Amino acid sequence: MIIFQNANSLFSVLMPRYFKRNWQETRGDEFDSWGTSVWFFEVDDHNFPTRQIEVYQNGKRLRYDSKNPFDDYGQLSDQALDLEEFKELEIRQDQFQLEWEKPEPRS
């Protein structure tokens, strides 16, 4: 948390948090052959995803953020993460960023 103070008030800004979740089920749609996946989330102080990565068993990588909130395969989640469910899945910012910057494998 970062705390700021100006002449009129004191306020705080929570830093984003990062999570990694293994998803052991396939998509159940026309892209089911992609296999299981690992999901990475950056969330704001209300636990809503601001960036999201999906990495599938076949190598397909999907990235979503405010500039690219959806595509033909999915979208940035519009639901807040349940931190009770995700509490053991938190990762560091650099771990998330490393995944964010990885290129899509060539076909």
Q: Per the structure block, which two tokens stand in for 89? A: 């899945």
Residue 3 has pLDDT above 80, yes or no: no
Residue ranges of alpha helices (H) inside 25-92 are: 83-86
Sheet holding 17-23, edge to edge: 61-65, 49-56, 37-43, 17-23, 90-91
For the chain, percent of residues with pLDDT exceeding 70 = 87
Backbone angles phi, psi at 31, to 5 degrees: -105, 20
pLDDT tens, residue by residue, 5-48: 565 555 556 789 999 999 999 999 999 999 999 999 999 999 99
pTM of the model: 0.86
CB 9 within 8 A of CB 82: no
